[in-house]
Structure 1
Amino acid sequence: MTRLAIVRQRYNPAGGAERFVSRALDALARQGSLDVTLITRRWEDHAGYHSLTVNPFYLGNVWRDAGFARGVRQAIAREGFDLVQAHERIPGCDVFRAGDGVHRAWLARRGRALSALGRLKLKLNPYHHYICRAEARMFADPALKAVICNSRMVADEIQQYFGLPADKLAVIYNGVDTQAFHPGLASQRDAVRAHWRIPAQAPLLVYVGSGFERKGVAAALAAIAPLAGVHLLVVGHDKHAARYQAQARALGVAERVIFTGAQKDVKSFYAAADALILPTLYDPFPNVCVEALACGLPLFTSTGCGAAEWIRSGENGWVRDALDVAGFTADIASWLQARADWPSLRAHARATVEPYTLEAMAEELLGLYRRLLG
């Protein structure tokens, strides 16, 4: 039996990367050929796999990440796993899953939306310097056998910034539980809308995610402002949420926007909505896009989102530059005018993800492991 270690530092129930790791762990643990161990500081309750806690003391995020990486390397040397797959930037692992993308690419995209002072602060932040150094060391480490990319966008960025050969890059898209996330959830639509006091017939967009600045909540609010009657559910946590609530009031859309805070189970919000909006500056491939498509929701997303690779404009969604607010408004307006086509949009959205089940993802991962183990 192959001893596989999966490395992820901590669990955040609202985090898309963590939800992916949880799903992957569950799917892999069901494979009789694998003995799976999660190496982590802390995680949710689990069954079907082992966990190994690495939780050294730290102060500040640089010390936190560096201390965890050092502890993981010590644990790997001690335990003698057959394969180690890291979801953190840790040199010396066999496989790295680039679920967070390329940090240098994210900094470049974020800089587009900042003032000169904001870009200077970004440049001087020691944590970003640490992450970029760790990333470069990891990609240059001779122990690295393969990189799992959750989109073609990420694979291209790794080649661009680090020059890794194509045969080291495996594009394996996020899987989704197509039985848990499905168009039939729409049967909850009226009840959920009644609970949140959303008109039954109002066009409703849903945004799901934490980190409002990166994922484009400001753009989503501005995009719906000229479109009377369009409502927006903002599902997720952000420490600056009050800033976005103030923006909604300033734009005159506060009565059409509901901030729900973080929610452990988001299926009911997909059930209530007509489409997902995610004008993200940078997202390698967010789980929310896979989940929403599986529920039959078309996407309004950006060129900085890996999920854009799945979108055919006007068929299962629309794609714009993250900063093109007028473009998002125009696309939403086109969607509103084609309300008779919404059933077709929903059907195409669902069909997009049907091949990407958790089982199919696990099989692709197993195929990669077999190849690496010879």
Structure 2
Amino acid sequence: MTWTQLEHPRQLLDPRLLQRTGKTLTETQGRLTLSHIPNVPLALFSPILRAHNLNTLASHVTELVTRADIDVVVAARPMQLPALKVPVVADFFDDNPSYWQDHRGHPRLAKEIDRLEQQLARDARLRVCASQVLVEKLARWGHDATYLPNGVHTERVAGGDRAAFRRSVGAEESDTLVGYIGFFGEFSGLTRSVRSLALWPPGTRLLVAGDGPELARARALAVAGGFEDRVTFLGWVRNVRDFFAGIDVGLLPFDVTDFTGGACPIKLLEYTAAGKRTISTQLEETRRMGIPGLIWTEPTPEGIAAGVREFVNTQDETLDPTVARRYEWRTLANEYLSLLRDVVVPAGV
């Protein structure tokens, strides 16, 4: 089976793309061939440019299916595909309309994406959703969908050197380290987590690993509030296993919206696979996953602080990391591959 993932490039603001709109840039890495289909930049601000990009994408997909002898197309972005000679699998991993409506303030674009996704769901041979919430959303559209959640590589997050990490951040074994790792966008709740430090009990610290647009604001709040000794911004960490081993509990303080409630949070799976409990806001899909040991909080500084205090009072409770086995990426990849094979060659044929 030959298949490729097709998506828009991320360099939307690169003016050189204007000169390459008609070209497909292809590179091969082992068994993986990547075809980057360039867009006209700044399409976010123009329905006309977005329509142009959709038409360009459809044209290139049609050409690639023939030239590369593609067996199945996995559409993991809202797109308007032409009538293809091969089956299409629609992969829904986020509630994209909610993101643009609730977090980016673009209701018109949200409606446009919703229309594209409904069309994609209608035309697809198979629909796959990363959350049970998204499965229910497609059911409201009148379509069946297969639930296939996000996953985790346990060997990449478990088995680190706890003592070495805690020495590196100047933490005593008696300190309680709360870890938050990821890319910190507008819904991440990072700034409210920093504000909550004023209410944390003595001996607790926040360790932030990663990057993102909210990081600068969080750093400024830490300085303004005098919390520099309570929070450490680590940037991107090379040895994430040591990070997960060194912290005592994970943090998932997202805003509570349709977007975050419909997501399958990889952070939660990583904390769990490392044997760490999680302090989380009350996200719908997270609740449905049924992972034990979660501490639920409100999406406010006071709520996050209450969650930290609850953990400190119950930290003798342990979490069996084997509950994350259902979410091993290798297992999920094999399930996905089986689904793709059934789409290309239906069972019984």
- Pairwise TM-score range, normalised by the shorter structure: 0.7 to 0.9
The 2-side partners of 1:265 and 1:90 are apart by 37
Partner of 1:249: 223
Which of residues 311, 321, 338 is equivalent to 1:367? 338
TM-score (norm 1): 0.73
Of all paired residues, the percent bearing the same amino acid is 20
Segments of structure 1 that go 5 or more residues without pairing to the other structure are: 13-39, 111-120
Which of residues 218, 225, 243 is equivalent to 1:269? 243
Which of residues 186, 190, 199 is equivalent to 2:172? 199
TM-score (norm 2): 0.78
Q: Secondary structure at the match of 1:215?
A: coil
Which of residues 74, 90, 94 is equivalent to 2:88? 94
State the Cα deviation string for residues 326-367 of structure 1 (Å, max 9, x = none): 3332222111012322xx2x32xx132023223321231133
Is 2:132 the partner of 1:155? Answer: no
Q: CA deviation at 1:137?
A: 3.4
The 2-side partners of 1:122 and 1:72 are apart by 30
Richer in helix (by share): 1
Instruction: Output the amino acid matched with 1:198.
Output: A
Is 2:129–2:135's contact at 8 Å kept on the other side of the alignment?
Answer: yes
Is 2:15 the partner of 1:4? Answer: no
Is 1:301–1:308's contact at 8 Å kept on the other side of the alignment?
Answer: no
Segments of structure 2 that go 5 or more residues without pairing to the other structure are: 12-23, 82-86
User: CA distance change for structure 1 residues 57 and 8 in 2, over 3 Å: closer, same or farther?
Assistant: closer
Q: How does 1:90-129 map to 2 (within 5 A)?
A: 90-92=79-81, 94-99=88-93, 101-107=94-100, 109-110=102-103, 122-123=105-106, 128=110
State the Cα deviation string for residues 156-196 of structure 1 (Å, max 9, x = none): 23334xx1423xx11112232223332x32xx122122222
The 1-side partners of 2:284 and 2:198 are apart by 23
Q: Secondary structure at the match of 2:157?
A: coil
Instruction: Output the amino acid matched with 1:288.
Output: K
Is 1:54–1:71's contact at 8 Å kept on the other side of the alignment?
Answer: no
Q: CA deviation at 1:324?
A: 4.0
Q: CA deviation at 1:305?
A: 6.2
Is 2:221 the partner of 1:232? Answer: no
Partner of 1:301: 280
Q: CA deviation at 1:221?
A: 1.9
User: CA distance change for structure 1 residues 189 and 82 in 2, over 3 Å: closer, same or farther?
Assistant: same
Is 2:232 the partner of 1:258? Answer: yes
Q: How does 1:53-202 map to 2 (within 5 A)?
A: 53-56=35-38, 58-62=40-44, 66=54, 67-68=56-57, 70-92=59-81, 94-99=88-93, 101-107=94-100, 109-110=102-103, 122-123=105-106, 128=110, 131-140=113-122, 142=123, 144-160=124-140, 163-166=141-144, 169-182=145-158, 184-185=159-160, 188-202=161-175
Partner of 1:216: 189
User: CA distance change for structure 1 residues 11 and 286 in 2, over 3 Å: closer, same or farther?
Assistant: farther
State the Cα deviation string for residues 101-139 of structure 1 (Å, max 9, x = none): 1222334553xxxxxxxxxx7136x75565444334323
The 1-side partners of 2:304 and 2:203 are apart by 16
Q: CA deviation at 1:277?
A: 0.5
The 1-side partners of 2:284 and 2:244 are apart by 19
User: CA distance change for structure 1 residues 150 and 256 in 2, over 3 Å: closer, same or farther?
Assistant: same
The 2-side partners of 1:57 and 1:123 are apart by 20
Instruction: Output the amino acid matched with 1:165.
Output: H
Count of matched residue positions in the alignment of Structure 1 and Structure 2? 315
Which of residues 271, 288, 292 is equivalent to 2:267? 288
Partner of 1:22: none
Q: CA deviation at 1:269?
A: 1.6
The 1-side partners of 2:186 and 2:26 are apart by 27
The 2-side partners of 1:41 and 1:334 are apart by 52
The 2-side partners of 1:310 and 1:254 are apart by 35
Partner of 2:14: none
The 1-side partners of 2:25 and 2:90 are apart by 18
Q: Secondary structure at the match of 1:268?
A: helix
Instruction: Output the amino acid matched with 2:157.
Output: F
